[in-house]
Amino acid sequence: MKTFGKIVLTAAAAVVAVTFGLTATAVAEFPEKAINYVIAFKPGGESDITGRFQQPFFKKKFGQDLVMSYKDGGGGAVAWAQLNTISGDGYTIMGTNLPHIVIQPAQKAVGYTTGDITNVYMFHYTPDAIVVKDDSPFKTVKDLIDYAKKNPGKVTFSGSGKGTANHLAQVTFDRLAGIKTAYVAFAGTAPSTTAVLGGQVVASWGYTTVPPSYPGTRMLAVAMEKRHPKFRDVPTFKELGFDLVSGAYRGIAVPKSTPEAIRKKLAKMIDEINHDPAFIKQMEDNGFAMLNAPYGPELDKFMAKIKKDIITSAKEAGIIK
């Protein structure tokens, strides 16, 4: 019986060793096949385009394809509500957006809570900005505020959607500047910018990504801590005395069942892309602002702060109760 016990023990040890060994190599060799990158919106939107920027860098650095697929619906809610039903092997990742994943569950039952979303990295944001036509009579934010004070309620701002970064910025700025303006929601940045270019609205609450993509537009101010490297001559709202730093943040999430080691590995991979000088240049040339919040304490700290900020301004805006 002694030998039998030995055999059992050895076998058990071998099984344990193999299992652990495999897990370790599995993580080390991850990814061994293409990764499915689910976008919670339609193809061709800004979330899709930023994924496209990452795609070639991912292939070059890690030898595997990043395959985009689209699960559009309910302003992203449909995809996020299904995130945790996907198998957590690391081969399916999903794009997440702020303030969406904070505001949606706070407004109504949308099938997920902010806590259900396991973010592994927040990699950039598109800062809010006031956008006007090149030939607009408004040269500075002060011009616009003066005009708005003389004509209360008459200044129209287009913006992408309601309860979005653009909308929150409009409400917050109205309060900070002591003005009253009208917000006209459009179904995305493209139609919202078209309305400015066509003179349907006075100005737009858009993003720093607008001027590089839409010729004929310029910005009056950007909602960043420091000036955007691509637009050195555009002031921040902070410089002008308005405490407004906001925008739409993007990151990557995985299903809850994804092992800790894979989460960290994914975060490390995205971090590597995010620090590639060629990638940074491409992003900044297109008006994006970089952000590095990898999985772990850094991301937790970032999320806690941003969640508080979003909830506060959404409550002030009357978007959530």
Partner 1 sequence: MHGIDYVLEAISFYHISIALAGVAAGTVIGALPGLTATMAIAVLVPLTFSMKPASALILMGAIYTGAIYGGAYSAILLKTPGTPSAIATTFDGYPMAKRGDGDLAVTLACTSSVLGGLIGAGFLLGLAPPLAKIALAFGPVEYFWLAIFGLSLISALSEGHMVKGLIGGCFGMLLTTIGVAEVSADIRYTFGSQTLIGGIEPVSALIGLYCIPVLIDLVATPARHLKVSSESRGFRLREALALSWRHKFNLIRSSVIGTIVGILPGAGGSIAGLVAYSEARRSSRRTDYFGTGEPEGVMASESANNATVGGGFIPTLVLGIPGTPPDAVILGALLVQGIRTGPNLFVGDESSIVYVFIAGLFVATLLMLPTGLLIGRYAYRFIINVPKAVLVPTVAFMTIIGTYAIRNNMSDVVIMILLGAIGWILDRYGFKPSPIVLGLILSRIAEQGFVQGWTIGKARGNVVAEFFARPISLGIIAFICVSMFYPIIARRWKLKEEPQNARET
Residue 21 or 74: the one with the smaller Cβ distance to partner 1 is 74
DSSP run (H or E) holding 52: helix 46-62
> For binding to partner 1 (CB under 8 A), which residues are involved?
38, 42-45, 48-49, 52-53, 55-56, 59, 65, 67-75, 77-78, 81, 107-111, 153-156, 161-164, 182-187, 190-191, 193-195, 197-201, 212-216, 282, 286
**Cβ nearer to partner 1, comparing 73 with 259:** 73
Q: Report the candidate in 81, 114, 82, 126 with the shortest Cα–Cα distance to residue 303.
A: 114
| Shortest Cβ 298–partner 1 spacing (Å) | 28
244 in Cβ contact with 169 (< 8 Å): yes
Q: What is the closest distance, in whole angstroms, from the C-beta atom of residue 273 to partner 1 in the complex?
A: 14
Looking at the Cβ atoms of 43 and 259, the one nearer to partner 1 is: 43
Nearer to partner 1, 164 or 274 (CB): 164
CA 249 and chain centroid, separation: 3
Q: Count other Cβ atoms within 10 Å, centred on residue 308.
A: 11
Long-range contacts made by residues 183-187, C-beta under 8 angstroms, separation at least 24?
183/156, 183/157, 183/159, 184/156, 184/157, 184/158, 184/159, 185/159, 185/160, 185/161, 186/158, 186/159, 186/160, 186/161, 187/160, 187/161
Of residues 88 and 259, the one with the C-beta less far from partner 1: 88
Residue 3 C-beta: closest distance to partner 1, Å: 55
> Smallest distance from the beta carbon of 71 to partner 1, in angstroms?
5
**Which of 141/196 has CB closer to partner 1?**
196
**Least distance CB 103 / partner 1 (angstroms):** 9
The least CB distance from residue 9 to partner 1, in Å, is 48
| Residues 6 or more apart whose Cβ sits within 8 Å of residue 2 | none
Give which of 198, 224, 194, 223 is closest to 210, Cα–Cα: 194
In the block, tokens 């109504």 appear at: 108
